[in-house]
Structure 1
Amino acid sequence: MIYPTNFEQKIGFNEIRVLLSERCLSTLGRSRVDELAMSHDVQKLNTWMNETRELRRLQEAEPDFPLQYFFDLRAPLARLKIEGTHFEEQELFDLCRSLDTLHRIVLFLNRPSGGEISEPIDGDIESASSITFLYPTLQRLTVGIVTFPELVRRINGIIDKCGRVKDSASPELQRIRSELAQTEGSISRILNAILRSAQQEGLVDKDVAPAMREGRLVIPIIPGLKRRIGGIVHDESASGRTVYIEPTEVVEANNRVRELEAEERREVIRILVELSKEIRPHIPALIASYALLADIDFIRAKAQLALLTQATEPTILPTAQIDWAQAVHPLLRLSLEKQGKRVVPLDICLSAEKRILIISGPNAGGKSVCLKTVALLQYMLQCGLSVPMSECSQVGIFEHLMLDIGDEQSIENDLSTYSSHLLNMKQMLRHSDRRTLLLIDEFGTGTEPLIGGAIAQAVLTQFCRRGAFGIITTHYQNLKRFADTHPGVANGAMLYDRQGMRPLFQLSIGQPGSSFAIEIARKTGLPEEVIREASLLAGEDYIQSDKYLQDIVRDKRYWEGKRQDIHRREKNLQTLIDRYETDLKEISQTRREILSRAKSEAEALLRESNRRIETTIREIRESQAEKEQTKRMRQELATFRDALEQTDDASGDELIARKMEQIRQRKQRHEKRLAEKAERLQQAEQKHRASEDQPAEQSLPTTLRPGDAVRMRGLTTVGRVESIDGGGQATVVFGSMRTKTTVDHLERVAPTAASTPLRSALSSSTRQAIDERRNRFRQDLDIRGERGDEALNAVMHFIDDALLVGIPRVRILHGKGNGILRQLIRQYLSTLPAVSSFRDEHVQFGGAGITVVDL
């Protein structure tokens, strides 16, 4: 329960309700705002918090979530239950759009976390429980909700995008509207002809146009000339300077228009009645389904309010407690932000050990604001609204919220201010228990201070015996002393800056606060004589005790600042330690990865060196070199392999680096020797050509004939021409291989150069490799999706293989895309002398996505 009846008004919740209602999309959500009430069901409250939390997350992550066309059709649907009634066109249009939104919301919320589903789960709780949803709390709102996609499609077949019944809704309606359009067109033509004639005769002004009066097209004319045009006068202007005449020529046509409009309306109503009959059986399910739209609208409004007030959705505990950090009064924050000011957050704690907090301090120091902040936030929390406080706060619930704040004196009820306070105390004593939160401002005031303080202390003792929780503001010294001596009560003070003589609006729990009455009186400018006399009347003991209290508060504030500074420094230090530990772990992990990668690179270099060395050994054997060199190279390789395998992660860094450097140096020396050897072979071949082939070639005839010995330009392999066709294409046999190429790519050689057949010059292993490659060769190469360098490398080997096996035409599949890969491949093909031409494939077989290459 809440007490008194105007509880919401006193704490400012009515303003919260207005802010919430303003953020609703329709009356669906606003009806939920009007029904908003306090609950102490923990499960229900946490569900409400989860709904708001999920919708906030959904709006951030899912901009396509349907949040339009929230129309409240519950009243028209209830009216439709009566036989013979029907929806109007606009109502039907709104029904269609809102049902479509409902259907899309249900589909959206029933999407599982791993994919999509096509239909909502209509009340199948067992099926829903086996699926993990992205927004499970919101999804539970859709269980049992029926959607009507077929009805939406049916309405869309009748209503157009502007909310008007379509011409195609029935053949009769289409006929009526067609005839109506023709009749109105003929009327317009006749009127325009009459109007032009009247303008030529000077009866009407040239800028006059036909007008509409009582649903009939008429001509405006000067009253004095109305008899010049035969017809019916329907109206005149307010000034009397213009009369509106319906010419005789269009009277019958206008009558027909009115008849057609009546027929159109009757046909539209007939269509709406028939459609309403189809909707009527679904009315209960439709009205129930609109509950989901109301829920989503209301939850969205709560999420928008949370964004406005910078609020969070804490997890609510089943115990009665308050442990809030950085709590802020939302209305005060909004008000101060408009003024460019900042609100001071509140830290407050009520536990089983300290159930009641006695707050003291100066007037205008923030005591009442503190009280209202606790009252408003606790009530918002138990209404399921987000509250502006730190996420680390712990919140509980209370079954009773009871408030005594302000002046409740009443002339009608013969109540004074103090009497109204006593009536409130009576109600609080009657209903307070361990699940009650009492919020009392200026406890005991309104009567003689001595007896008022005594009664307040006696009431406070009863509150303690009943185990109630409470926050009480007071100036009474006896209540402050009571809080110091009673185990269930704590003192608190609203801090005050004595140097600046201004309130700090900060709550400090643990020590009572001073009223700073002497200081505030001095600041307001009271004469010093008055202040001295007041001090004497109060007594030296009171003044000194108040001074000591101020000093205690000042010292506590100082040491609290020191404590917070130390805590902050410890936190920063712990953060640095955690970061350093994380960095050390990352460095250790990186070191292991580097060692692993170094080993992998070393093994790769080892394999490459092994391959190169084996090649060198083979060449040495073929050249009949000394076996001692082969033995030495094998020994070095074995030594390095053993050293690599014996290296561990902890002590092998330097050895791996040294061995890798040795491999690199050895690789460089080996490549240098191979380059020198290739250069010597090239020089020897050039000398051999200069001494043997060149003189013969100079004396050879330029025309090729079948049987001539030839070779491809730039190559050394010699073959014989088998045949030459009329298009300049020659068939050449190289050993057992036959290939076609253009005559321009061939050069004649002396017959002695071809004396040794190609196959006899090749080893058996080479011939076998060529035969295997010919059998495996395919005329199509697919390089779609490959990078440029990879594609060029593949094309280079592909063309070489095609030339080797004697294939005259091949195809390269590179795709269309942006044309980059196609251009890159064709640029490379244009540099090859063995390629005679290349072009796009026929459009039926791939077009520009395939390049056909002729060799």
Structure 2
Amino acid sequence: MLYPRNLENKIGFDQVRSLLKEECLSVMGQYYVEKLRFTDDFSLLQKLLEQTREFTAILQSGDEFPSSNFFPIDKQLEKARLEGAFLSVEELNNLRLSLQTIFACLDYFSDKEEEYPQLQQLSSVVVLDKGLLKQISRVIDDRGHLRDDASPALQQIRRALIAEQSRARKTLESILRQSVSSGFSEEGVSLTIRGGRLVIPVLAEYKRKIKGFIHDESATGQTVFLEPAEVLEINNNIRELEYEEKREIVRILLAITSQVRPHVQALRKAANFLGLVDFIRAKARFALKIDAVYPQFEKRELVEWYKAVHPLLYLSHKQQQKPVVPLNIHLHQDQRILVISGPNAGGKSVALKTVALLQYMVQCGLLIPVGDGSRVGLFKNLFIDIGDEQSLENDLSTYSSHLTSMKFFTQMVDKKTLFLIDEFGTGTEPQFGGAIAESILEELNRQQAFGVINTHYGNLKQLAERTPGIVNGAMRFDAAQLEPMYQLEIGKPGSSFALEIARKIGLPKSVLQQAKEKVGVKQVKMELLLAELEKEKKEFDDKNKELSKKEKELQQAVQEYQELRSFIENKKAQLLKEAKQEASQLLSEANQRIEATIRQIKENSAEKESTRQARQGLQELKEKVKLKPEEAKAQEKTSSIKVVGGAIEEGDLIRIKGQQTVGEVMEIKGKDAEIRIGSLKSKVKLNRLEKISRKEYRQETADVESKPAMRGINLNQRMADFSSQLDVRGKRAEEALSIVDNLLDNAAMFGAPELRIVHGKGDGILRQMIREHLKGYGIVASMKDEHADRGGPGVTIVELQY
């Protein structure tokens, strides 16, 4: 049961029906759109929804499905059913085209039973003889004309007719030329037809000069249209042949119509099938336009929707390129009635109409725009009280009309009813209106109906808090900006924000203070509490979003670090392998040089002692070269720093054994020490440290700052210190470019895929200089601005290639 009669108009379904008609290809499809009705037949709805879902899959697949020649053929079939009647050539052609479309649809579904079972089942009831299409096509060509060879007699008649028409035209053209040359006709005139016969135009004063029959004259009377005697017989023959042609055409049409007559019943079913296909296609196309889906459909009273949107609002905002805030709403046995409160223009009515329209659509067999995980239930009754129903004829005020609806609601609702009430209780004195509304709500809850109501009454919010089966909901509001957020939050009441909005508009403080006193301290405190809760909720949501964003960035950074670490390990193994190969090659070359030196000494007949000393020196060189590359490197790096020795204590200056890295001991815990190297803190075993003097520490740090290129390279330390992000804001151009150079060197060493340089927006000078400088690097593949949310043109993203 539906209430009121104009429910479709109130919830906007009449607009949905119009949009569906626009998607139809034929009046047959539009006829089925008009027949759309609300139903609680679960099996039927499952079938209708599945048909639409299957057709959306066809449209999304890109398959070519027949989309032309959806002609209505009911009138043709009714005419063909009558004995002695015949279909015209145009009617037969429409029937031919419709049959082609019907057979194309049947062929499409013939081998797709597994893919589209419901649509295939729909097509299985159509049984047609393809021979009928062949018979019609034998007499009607692709242009929709009757074929010349539709019968031997027609072919002979048309040939004779063409010959006679050609003879008549040649004769008349000859007579007309003579008439023009004699001055009987004006220059430039041509043959014309009057009364279905070929004639020539002749000046009226010369009409007696040419024998013949006058058929007509011009509007001025200066020209007559004459049929010369020479072609009178020919034109008579043409007229007789035309009559013969018509008789033969009627005979052919009678014959082909008689062949159609036995198939009328089957053709009716086929025409209904074609209309249904057009109708289902229109529903599928509309579903794709509103991003609708086939949600989980259950045979019980339930509303569990996620990211539901009002389809008409969605289409309107889509044209304006504006987003629509989706709605999450749950109604079930323990939470049957939702009381929505909040400020005016906050989205309460839109939420109510969204629930009404989507539930009505799904129970009309239409897909609805809801998110994943949504579940849709089934209701037997749908009652709404939306808008102003005052009536001058029945002498009903707005409030009286609402009470009339409430009377119907309380008498007719049951467990299978979904009711929706907008601005519950308004239209009369608030004290009594609120009391009556509360009593009605208690009665609706007692009868275990499902529903959604909008209200500003505080007593209804309090009733929802203390009554099982009823729950509060609030349309969220940005208390700081005093702007609606159009988000429904279930579980708490909403504030009207009346005082805050009045304050923003600029009402005098004295007026606001008087209003507070009139409302009462308790009510003001409640409104302030709700406003404060809303503000805290907004702050919490903003912080939660920020934390989620940072967590996502952290996960991405960890992933990038792991990928970089894996890359560095592989690179390290590759470099060591290459270093060993290079060392082996150098050793081989050194041996060759040694042998060459000895040979040279012998050839020059040098003294034995000199030769011995030369050999001893070369042997020492050979032994040194035999050192592992990393050991020789460590010896070279560590030999320049003098070690003091002694026990290491907190505050001592140290270096790490085997490296030229120096730092300061911050804290000692057992066998571990916490050291500071520059701005980096790290924990190291005590036995890996060596004590150095303050002079050595100053000398080393000074060397590092003044001659970074001379410092020994520690890949592990550089890897730990390396960051793909660089901030040069506030730096001078020369200093910034130098830092960028160092970053590029380290990036190339570790194979970093991307760099992020923060230079700020300002006048764009530093940004331009850095980008021009980066163009000189061959490893720089591209440069672009960061995303607008993460710095935009104030940050340059550098992509590297190797």
Fold match by TM threshold 0.5: yes
Shift of 1:574: 9.8
Shift of 1:512: 1.2
Superposition TM-score, scaled by structure 1 size: 0.62
Match of 2:361 among 363, 374, 380: 380
Structure 2 CA distance for partners of 1:25 and 1:579, relative to 1, 3 Å: farther
Structure 2 CA distance for partners of 1:178 and 1:425, relative to 1, 3 Å: same
Q: Following superposition of structure 1 onto structure 2, how do residues 605-616 of structure 1 map, counting pairs within 5 Å?
A: none
CA distance in 1, matches of 2:318, 2:418: 30
Q: Where does residue 714 of structure 1 map in the other structure?
A: none
CA distance in 2, matches of 1:151, 1:508: 63
Kindly provide the amino acid, as one letter, of the partner of residue 466 in structure 1: Q
Q: Following superposition of structure 1 onto structure 2, how do residues 302-313 of structure 1 map, counting pairs within 5 Å?
A: 302-313=283-294
Shift of 1:194: 2.2
Match of 1:538 among 489, 499, 519: 519
2:154 counterpart of 1:154: no
Q: Where does residue 13 of structure 1 map in the other structure?
A: 13
Equivalent position SS for 2:114: coil
Shift of 1:43: 2.4
Equivalent position SS for 1:347: strand
Equivalent position SS for 1:496: strand
Kindly provide the amino acid, as one letter, of the partner of residue 71 in structure 1: F
Q: Where does residue 97 of structure 1 map in the other structure?
A: 97
Asked whether the equivalents of residues 79 and 87 of structure 2 are also in contact (C-alpha less than 8 Å), the reply is: no
Q: Where does residue 75 of structure 1 map in the other structure?
A: 75
Shift of 1:391: 2.9
Structure 2 CA distance for partners of 1:24 and 1:574, relative to 1, 3 Å: farther
Q: Where does residue 26 of structure 2 map in the other structure?
A: 26
Q: Where does residue 64 of structure 2 map in the other structure?
A: 64
Q: Where does residue 298 of structure 2 map in the other structure?
A: 317
Per-residue CA deviation, residues 528-557 of structure 1 (Å, 9 max, x unaligned), is: 554444333333433232111111122233
Per-residue CA deviation, residues 426-466 of structure 1 (Å, 9 max, x unaligned), is: 11112211211111000011111111111111010011111
Kindly provide the amino acid, as one letter, of the partner of residue 146 in structure 2: V
CA distance in 2, matches of 1:447, 1:234: 84
Identical columns (%)? 46
Q: Following superposition of structure 1 onto structure 2, how do residues 413-428 of structure 1 map, counting pairs within 5 Å?
A: 413-428=394-409
Asked whether the equivalents of residues 340 and 472 of structure 2 are also in contact (C-alpha less than 8 Å), the reply is: yes
Q: Following superposition of structure 1 onto structure 2, how do residues 803-814 of structure 1 map, counting pairs within 5 Å?
A: none
Structure 2 CA distance for partners of 1:192 and 1:459, relative to 1, 3 Å: same
Equivalent position SS for 2:443: helix
Match of 1:265 among 232, 242, 246: 246
Per-residue CA deviation, residues 130-172 of structure 1 (Å, 9 max, x unaligned), is: xx63321211112231022011111111111122222212222
Q: Where does residue 632 of structure 1 map in the other structure?
A: none
Per-residue CA deviation, residues 292-314 of structure 1 (Å, 9 max, x unaligned), is: 21221111111111122222222
Asked whether the equivalents of residues 109 and 134 of structure 1 are also in contact (C-alpha less than 8 Å), the reply is: no
Q: Where does residue 171 of structure 2 map in the other structure?
A: 190
Structure 2 CA distance for partners of 1:391 and 1:569, relative to 1, 3 Å: farther
Kindly provide the amino acid, as one letter, of the partner of residue 347 in structure 2: G
Q: Where does residue 430 of structure 1 map in the other structure?
A: 411
CA distance in 1, matches of 2:480, 2:509: 18
Asked whether the equivalents of residues 45 and 316 of structure 1 are also in contact (C-alpha less than 8 Å), the reply is: no
Per-residue CA deviation, residues 324-379 of structure 1 (Å, 9 max, x unaligned), is: 11111111122223333222221211122111111111111111111111111111
Shift of 1:241: 5.8
Q: Where does residue 631 of structure 2 map in the other structure?
A: none
Structure 2 CA distance for partners of 1:448 and 1:236, relative to 1, 3 Å: farther
Kindly provide the amino acid, as one letter, of the partner of residue 73 in structure 1: I
Shift of 1:398: 1.0
Per-residue CA deviation, residues 359-409 of structure 1 (Å, 9 max, x unaligned), is: 111111111111111111111111111211213211112111111011111
Q: Following superposition of structure 1 onto structure 2, how do residues 172-571 of structure 1 map, counting pairs within 5 Å?
A: 172-238=153-219, 242-562=223-543
CA distance in 2, matches of 1:95, 1:81: 14
Structure 2 CA distance for partners of 1:495 and 1:50, relative to 1, 3 Å: same
* Pairs aligned (count): 566
Kindly provide the amino acid, as one letter, of the partner of residue 184 in structure 1: Q
Asked whether the equivalents of residues 46 and 315 of structure 1 are also in contact (C-alpha less than 8 Å), the reply is: no
Structure 2 CA distance for partners of 1:445 and 1:166, relative to 1, 3 Å: same
Structure 2 CA distance for partners of 1:99 and 1:579, relative to 1, 3 Å: farther
Structure 2 CA distance for partners of 1:70 and 1:576, relative to 1, 3 Å: farther
Asked whether the equivalents of residues 49 and 314 of structure 1 are also in contact (C-alpha less than 8 Å), the reply is: no
Asked whether the equivalents of residues 357 and 489 of structure 1 are also in contact (C-alpha less than 8 Å), the reply is: yes
In the alignment, structure 1 segments of 5+ residues that lack a partner are 113-131, 584-855
CA distance in 1, matches of 2:189, 2:515: 91
Per-residue CA deviation, residues 101-145 of structure 1 (Å, 9 max, x unaligned), is: 222322221215xxxxxxxxxxxxxxxxxxx63321211112231
Superposition TM-score, scaled by structure 2 size: 0.66
Equivalent position SS for 1:472: strand
Structure 2 CA distance for partners of 1:198 and 1:376, relative to 1, 3 Å: same
CA distance in 1, matches of 2:560, 2:125: 51
CA distance in 1, matches of 2:221, 2:480: 82
Kindly provide the amino acid, as one letter, of the partner of residue 471 in structure 1: V
Shift of 1:175: 1.7
CA distance in 2, matches of 1:519, 1:220: 91
CA distance in 2, matches of 1:224, 1:338: 71
Equivalent position SS for 1:323: strand
Equivalent position SS for 1:157: helix
Q: Following superposition of structure 1 onto structure 2, how do residues 717-736 of structure 1 map, counting pairs within 5 Å?
A: none
Equivalent position SS for 1:445: coil
Asked whether the equivalents of residues 478 and 538 of structure 2 are also in contact (C-alpha less than 8 Å), the reply is: no
Kindly provide the amino acid, as one letter, of the partner of residue 243 in structure 2: A
Aligned alpha-carbon RMSD (Å): 2.8
Per-residue CA deviation, residues 494-553 of structure 1 (Å, 9 max, x unaligned), is: 122233332222212121111122233344454555444433333343323211111112
CA distance in 2, matches of 1:535, 1:237: 93
Per-residue CA deviation, residues 711-759 of structure 1 (Å, 9 max, x unaligned), is: xxxxxxxxxxxxxxxxxxxxxxxxxxxxxxxxxxxxxxxxxxxxxxxxx
Per-residue CA deviation, residues 627-663 of structure 1 (Å, 9 max, x unaligned), is: xxxxxxxxxxxxxxxxxxxxxxxxxxxxxxxxxxxxx
CA distance in 1, matches of 2:348, 2:154: 73
Asked whether the equivalents of residues 306 and 327 of structure 2 are also in contact (C-alpha less than 8 Å), the reply is: yes
Q: Where does residue 43 of structure 2 map in the other structure?
A: 43
CA distance in 2, matches of 1:241, 1:541: 103
Kindly provide the amino acid, as one letter, of the partner of residue 305 in structure 1: F
CA distance in 2, matches of 1:148, 1:408: 56
Q: Where does residue 684 of structure 1 map in the other structure?
A: none
Equivalent position SS for 2:486: strand
Q: Following superposition of structure 1 onto structure 2, how do residues 699-848 of structure 1 map, counting pairs within 5 Å?
A: none
Structure 2 CA distance for partners of 1:521 and 1:268, relative to 1, 3 Å: same
Structure 2 CA distance for partners of 1:99 and 1:548, relative to 1, 3 Å: same
Asked whether the equivalents of residues 100 and 149 of structure 1 are also in contact (C-alpha less than 8 Å), the reply is: no
CA distance in 2, matches of 1:99, 1:402: 44
Kindly provide the amino acid, as one letter, of the partner of residue 14 in structure 1: D
Shift of 1:481: 0.8
Kindly provide the amino acid, as one letter, of the partner of residue 249 in structure 1: E
CA distance in 2, matches of 1:96, 1:307: 32
* Larger mean Cα displacement after TM superposition, 74-83 or 497-506: 497-506
Shift of 1:566: 6.2
